Amino acid sequence: MKTSLFIGIVIFLVLTSCEKTSYNADYDVLLKTESGFSFKYSDFELYDSSTHIFYFKNCHPEFKTASNDKFSILANGQIIYQGFFLAPYSSYIPSGPFIFSFYKFGTDHFFEIEAWFPDNLKDSRNDPRLIDALKQKGLLHSGLKVSIDSIKISGTQLVFKFTVTNSDLSDLMILDPDRAGVNLFHYFTNGLSMYDSAHNLIFKSNIDFSAPASFRDWSVDWLSVLKSGDSKQFTINYTPSTPIMPGEYHASFEFPGMYFQIPKDQLYQNSDRIWLGDIQVNKEITIN
C-alpha cells in the first residue's frame, strides 16, 4: 500500500515537472521584438486581414520610434513570420514583412505589416495558422474586397469602373470618390495605371489632385457607410493624353483609405468603423 502510494506520488511529480518544462512563455504573445518588448493577443482589438493592420485596444507610444528593431509575429507560441521596423525615409526596402516606424507623426493605436515579396517568396502575412489563432480569439476581421470591373474607351474618355465590397463583420466607413470628389480622392491614391505585355507604362492617372489644408486634415463628409456584406460600384473618367490602342493590358489600381489622420477616439463614428489602409488590385483587361 505504502509502495503504491509512493509510486503514485513520484509519477505525479514527474508529470507536473514535465508540464512546467513544456510551458511556452510566448503562448499568448502576438508580437515581440529583439529589443525585448512584446504584446499579447489580449492587447489587441482586431486585425484587418485585407490591409494587414493590427489595432490596439489602447495607444502605445513605443510605436512612434525610429527603431530598426526586428519583430516576430506569433501564433500559439510559434513564430509565424519575422520582419523589421523601417524608417519611412529609408532608401532600402528589405524583402519580406516590415513596419514603417513613423516616429514623428505616426499613430500609436494601430500598425500595418507592409511587405515586398520577390517572385520566389510567398506572402506570409495571412498565414493560416495566424488567421486561425486570431479567429479563435475573436480578433479576425476581413475588411474590404476591391475588384476592377471594366475599362472602356468612350470617345476621348477612359471609363474605369470598380467595386468595393464590405467583407467585414462590422459596418465600415470608406473614402468615397463621389462624396470627396475625384480630385481629393486622387490625393490619397495614384489611381489607375495600365501596362502592355512588354511591361511598358501605357497609361497613368493624370487627374490633378487637390490636397487638404494639412496632411492630418480629414472630414466625415468624405466618407460613406458600407454595410457588412454590401457592395458599391464607382466610376472614374480619365482623359488619356495619348490614344490607347485596342489590345491586352495589365491594369493596376490602389483603393485608398485614411491612415494617421484618424485618432483613436475618432476611429468609430457611432457604431461604424472608419476603414484604414489601402488595397492594391490588378487585372488583365482587353481594350476593344
**CATH number for 182:** 2.60.40.2360
Does 105 have pLDDT greater than 70? no
pLDDT (0 to 100) of residue 36: 84
pLDDT (0 to 100) of residue 196: 95
Of 87, 106, 136, which closes a domain?
136
Greatest mean pLDDT range, 25-39, 78-92, 110-124:
25-39
Instruction: Provide the grid cell at 39.
Output: 504584446
Work out how many domains the chain is built from and give that number.
Answer: 2
Same domain, 255 and 155: yes
Residue of 257, 269, 95 lying closest to 175 (CA atoms): 257
- Is residue 216 assigned to a domain? yes
- Is residue 257 assigned to a domain? yes
The β-bridge partners of 40 are: 29
pLDDT (0 to 100) of residue 106: 63
Query: pLDDT grade, residue 265 (50/70/90)?
Result: very high
> What percentage of the chain carries pLDDT values higher than 70?
88
Same domain, 149 and 280: yes
Same domain, 130 and 168: no
Residue span of the structural domain in which 131 resides: 29-136
User: Model confidence over 26-49: pLDDT tens digits?
Assistant: 899 999 998 888 999 999 999 999
- Is residue 251 assigned to a domain? yes
User: Model confidence over 170-200: pLDDT tens digits?
Assistant: 999 999 999 999 999 999 999 999 999 999 9
Backbone angles phi and psi of 112, in degrees to 5:
-110, 135
Same domain, 43 and 149: no
Of 136, 171, 187, which closes a domain?
136
User: Distance (Å, rounded) from C-alpha 74 to C-alpha 78?
Assistant: 5
Same domain, 164 and 51: no
Same domain, 189 and 105: no
Amino acid identity of residue 45, one-letter, is E
